[in-house]
Amino acid sequence: MSRLSPAGRKALLTVHLVTSLGWLGADLVLLTLGVAGLRGADPAVVYPTAGLLVTYLFAPLSLVVWLLGLASALLSPWGLLRWRWVLVKFAITTVMLGLVNLALLPRVRELGALAGDASMHLRADLVIAPAVSSTLLVTVTVLSTYKPWGRLRRAAAPVARRAVPARPGA
Ligand code: HEM
């Protein structure tokens, strides 16, 4: 896979950070709306707002973050299958991409349509799901900065070892 110039890599890292941490921010807003709904805020305001937020920002960002994360791995010396922290991030983000689009999006749209008629169970979903996903995104952020657990496998040939720095970007 071709690599980027240092300027290109910085630009990609910048959009990766803005979108992924923006995704975490949107997740925390959803959690706030969910808590407000359970604490008695007007359901005709809170739940349609949550529906709009998930439809136009949170769910689209899940795909953007996944794609830019994948590009950040494949177009940098880190690679996708070399370092455990990168692979675990990819796995967590992939699971989240599926859950957000297949489970959360339809539930929150339903909640937005029902508003004041929504069941307690459906209202609680808007607290539990963003609480779990925000925790996962904070975990992914910590993995990104601490980069734990080392390599998945050693490069086989000495040539390959020279081509890939021991710890890219460190
Ligand atoms: C498909 C999923 C993801 C993959 C494969 C991925 C991969 C990567 C890679 C390879 C880097 C290093 C880029 C470079 O040095 O040029 C990086 C940096 C970073 N990523 Fe991700 N990422 C993903 C998702 C996320 C998410 C969801 C978050 C946070 C919510 C996140 C937060 C960060 C942060 C904070 C850094 C900067 C680390 C540093 O420079 O020390 N990433 N990511």
> What spacing in Å lies between the alpha carbon of 93 and ligand 1's midpoint?
10
Residue whose CA lies nearest to ligand 1 atom number 41:
145
Query: For position 84, what pLDDT does the model report?
Result: 98
Instruction: Tell me, rounded to whole angstroms, the distance of Cα 7 from its chain centroid.
Output: 24
What are the φ/ψ torsions at residue 119 (nearest 5 degrees)?
-70, 160
Ligand 1 atom at minimum distance from 169 CA? 15
* Residue ranges per structural domain of the chain: 6-142
Query: For position 156, what pLDDT does the model report?
Result: 53
Non-local (6+) Cβ contacts of 115 within 8 A are 43, 44, 47, 48
Ligand 1 pocket check for 78: Cβ under 6 Å: yes
**Each residue of 44-101: pLDDT tens digit?**
999 999 999 999 999 999 999 999 999 999 999 999 999 999 999 999 999 999 999 9
Inform me whether the pLDDT recorded for 1 exceeds 90: no
What percent of the chain is modeled with pLDDT above 70? 89
Ligand 1 pocket check for 9: Cβ under 6 Å: yes
Ligand 1 atom at minimum distance from 137 CA? 30
Average pLDDT over residues 28-35: 98
More confident residue, 40 or 167: 40
> What spacing in Å lies between the alpha carbon of 62 and ligand 1's midpoint?
14
Task: Give the C-alpha separation, 32 to 54, whole Å.
Answer: 13
